[in-house]
Amino acid sequence: MPIFSDASRHTVLVLELFPETAAIDQGELVLGGVRATALAEEFGTPLVVYCERTLLAQAREYQRVDPEALVVYGTKAFANVALLQLFAREGLGADVSTLGELRFALRADVPSDRIVFHGNNKSDEELRAAARAGATVVLDAPDEVERASNAGVERVLVRLTPGVEAETHESIQTAHSESKFGLDPDQALATVAAARGRLDAAGVHVHIGSQLARIDESLAAVDRLVEFCTRCRDQLGWSPRIVDLGGGLGVRHARADQLPTVAEFAGALVTRFREGWNEPARLILEPGRSLIGRAGVTLYRVGATKRSGSIDYVAIDGGMSDNPRPQLYGARYEALIANKAEERVDGTYRIAGKHCESGDVLIDAVELPRPRGGDLLAVPATGAYTLSMASNYNGVPRPAAVIVADGNARLIRRRETVDDLLRYETS
Ligand SMILES: Cc1ncc(COP(=O)(O)O)c(C=O)c1O
């Protein structure tokens, strides 16, 4: 039996997961003042729809945490020139970790002093490109001091691994003691010492993981960072003038998820750092997911529906090639049927993708009014690490993305075509 018999109550609760402008008008989902059905009609499906108002609200909430801090968008959440431009106009920068992401940031005219270049295995080409761009490079291995210096890099931070195991999926923990990222305190200290002789050793960086729901672990990382800064001051006579506190705050994908707000999470980190370290240092915050995750909704067209044993399957025209998070991290999502958002829930359905794997299930169990072929399924909180992790499995072209605001939609990523894929073939 479905939990909900009251259609509007169900819709209101699920709607909380959608962007700020999401509304129901005459039983239809509207995003940024545009009907989801009209978006699907004009741009096709699957389609990732970003709500501009939500993007801006998140960016501004981060900036309010510490108006002096530099907020850099974690480009890996979705490398997109239009989003980078939108954030750059708001004064944000970009955290990039490959040559490709750097090129996106440069195309978006993100100012060089707002670009932070990461990566646990930067190539010489990447270091040279970061140097040419005037980016701040985050050193992640002892040999990078020499390599960065040879590449012409000027300003660097040193990435500290504080030895904190964040409660999140193990694939997105980044600061535990055996992490591939960063340097333990002894190695980080030696790297700061070495960097001072050859580079502008400007500061330190920590980032403990992604989709974080707890604050205490991040506070523990800040405490270790403060201990590290104290060691640097006492042993090297060096204090950081830039301190990058990383990103990591999660987003709600399901009604049961409970997460701190940006102000609660980032505010607590900044306060803890300022309480522990009273020398002047400019802060950097590096959010990705929490800037764009809730702003994004994916629209899919429902195709085949059938019953298999006790399961009611609903197949959509996308799946693991446009959103591999269920397979990678066990991510759980909720959904609405955009064209009948206020119909009574009548059962629990399994949303299956179109790919040739039984594991291609986008949502294991979701309560919906009976979906029928041609309906439009809207999956909220899919703005981050979905399209950016998309693949062409089964020769499926990657979806388009649009941004919606004030009743208008603008294409920010065109839909790939099979011809695009065939262009890489040599026969
Ligand atoms: C160094 C660094 N900074 C920032 C981020 C952004 O993290 P999130 O999207 O969880 O905010 C990441 C992503 O894992 C990262 O590796």
The Å distance, Cα 287 to ligand 1 centre, comes to 6
Determine the residue of 161, 286, 325 to mutate for testing ligand 1's pocket, defined as the one with the most ligand atoms within 8 A of the Cβ atom: 286
191, 203 in Cβ contact below 8 A? no
Answer yes or no: pTM beyond 0.85.
yes
Distance CA 53, CA 31 (A): 10
For residue range 357-375, what is the model confidence (pLDDT) as tens digits?
999 999 999 999 999 999 9
pLDDT confidence of residue 168: 76
Q: Where are the alpha helices (DSSP H) in 240-303?
A: 262-276, 289-292
What are the chain's domains?
7-51+294-422 (2.40.37.10), 66-292 (3.20.20.10)
Task: Please name the residues in contact with 190: beta carbons below 8 A apart, sequence gap of 6 or more.
Answer: 142
Distance CA 293, CA 226 (A): 30
Question: Which residue owns the Cα nearest ligand 1 atom 14?
Answer: 210
The Å distance, Cα 121 to ligand 1 centre, comes to 16
In which residue ranges of the chain is pLDDT below 70? 1-7, 175
Which numbered atom of ligand 1 lies nearest the CA of 205? 1
pLDDT confidence of residue 6: 60
For residue range 186-197, what is the model confidence (pLDDT) as tens digits?
999 999 999 998
Q: For Cα atoms 101, 388, 350, give the angle at the middle one, nearest 5 degrees.
A: 170
Known catalytic membership, residue 356 = yes
Q: Is the CB of 118 under 6 A from ligand 1?
A: yes
Place of tokens 């989003």: 83
Q: Is the CB of 77 under 6 A from ligand 1?
A: yes
Which numbered atom of ligand 1 lies nearest the CA of 118? 1
Which listed residue (51, 229, 232, 356) is catalytic?
Answer: 356
Q: Is the CB of 289 under 6 A from ligand 1?
A: yes
